[in-house]
Structure 1
Amino acid sequence: MFPQRLDSTLAYAIAKAMMDGFNRHYRLFRTESARAKHRFETRDWRGQQRAQRERIEFYDLRVKECVMRLMKEFGADEQPMEVWEQVKLHYIGLLVNHHQPELAETFFNSVTTKILQRAYFQNDFIFVRPAVSTEYIENEEPSARPTYRCYYPTAETMQAEALLMLQDFDLRVPFEDLGRDAELVLNAMKRHFDHVKLRANFQFQVLSGLFFRNKGAYVVGKIINGFQEVPFALPILHNTDGKLVVDAALFGEDDLLILFSFARAYFMVDMEIPSAYVQFLRSMMPRKPRAEFYNALGLAKQGKTLFYRDFLF
């Protein structure tokens, strides 16, 4: 039942502490993900594996920290239902203009269900459906990195745009032959558009963050031509001389579904707005459930009772 008024200052303090706990979690999560680029450049494979293992535990540690704080500072487990109803509503207010609201909602659920008795597990106390839409979230600050970059090649500038697409990731290790790799990528792309007229909207859309996993870095994007869209991924590896090469070119939904399979390890990606990455990936692989993309990005864990809101609680 919706409370008649929001008159509990304690409820706001609890909600704010929970949001602080989530923000700390995602800040640490994102920092570790961003370091994956340096580990890839320096070929620190043991460090990369260790970071992937340790990052999995971040969520549980931050939930535990938040629960302990709420119990110690606010006696959260002793507060009546009326206060907890207001806590949730204050928390919804804090989600406005937040860049990771769907993850913050799950953090709220995880903390709340560890504090409250099971009899309280109902819609009044946890999120069972989205409170804030993630469809149009954007960071409008001038310095913000876009979710994806667009390239608009013509028939004459194809190779130059493919070269720029690879250069824009600013990897601090030289390629063995970047011009050669750009040409090979372009030739692979052209096979999907042989005898096809290039439409006015012909473009490459490429996610701004590289996808790091094990010893590879993956460029992930799609080619758009009229109503046709072809997803692609380009794995970048170190050769025996320590220089970079584009090792292959994967095209089509089936190839990318294998790349993003549950059977493989999580990716490390520096993302400010995870839902925007998930939305982009779903446009490339519509057969894959949204929640599985959160898993592939290390934002949810198998085997847990509480997943993100796409799962059943």
Structure 2
Amino acid sequence: MQPLEEVQTYHVPVLLNDSVSGLIVKPNGVYVDVTFGGGGHSRCILNKLDAKGHLYGFDQDADAERNIVNDERFTFVRSNFRYLKNWMRYYGIEHIDGLIADLGVSSHHFDDETRGFSFRFESQLDMRMNKRAGKTAADILNTYEEEQLADVFYLYGEFRNSRKIAATIVKARQEKSILTTQDFLDVTEKLFTREREKKEMARLFQALRIEVNHEMSALKEMLYSSKDLLCPGGRLVVITYHSLEDRIVKNMMKSGNVEGKISKDFFGRIETPFNMINNKVIVPTEDEQKQNSRSRSAKLRIAEKK
């Protein structure tokens, strides 16, 4: 376990000050960091807690366990955040004062040449956040039906030519299994113009990663759990990196559901369990974007439980 003050290089937190400030941390409060990772946000929160406060940190990736904070006020939960409510019940916690989520993939994952998250490196197509369970990206590419693959690339990569991509993959795998990042590049890069190649490949890898880790369903479950767990005045702080997850977070904060369905009372007022703290998303400064490339697409949304 790592001491609280130790500087981490595992992952550079995005929008650190803005996000933790948005929690309005009460010294004796109970907080949850559902994306512990390198522990950057957690350490900042712990610095604001007194002896009665407590922080729970969730992460399903075994690599994150090396960063566990050695502090009596901290509990590490080795789990996907979709099980947030179950674990809080296990620890006897009925209500929390705040929750922070830094979604997407950490810089650690992108820079790890062995995990298959980036097409910059030649590696096995794994992409699992939890290496101990579930299908790999290679499993999906080699076993999904053509229609299933088309749905993945359409829903999570927003590709209009998703059917063509899927058909190309199915045809290619009949001759040779797609097992590495280079295999995947060899099969798909011919579908894109050289000018758009890098951006399109990034979207392809994103779509595949989301499917491997069931990211959208896990996010929805976590948000509904947070709605139930947050006490009045509790803060929900979420950093998103692409339009799919940002839309879900925005819908929850504005309407109380992930679909964004608005219900109104007798007087025509929108019924929602949250008050939006920032109607306009907070984005990193130019300096932060220069220092941390991952921050360029980051959007911070903050809501308060009524």
Q: TM-score, with normalisation over the residues of structure 1?
A: 0.29
Larger Rg: 1
Q: TM-score, with normalisation over the residues of structure 2?
A: 0.29
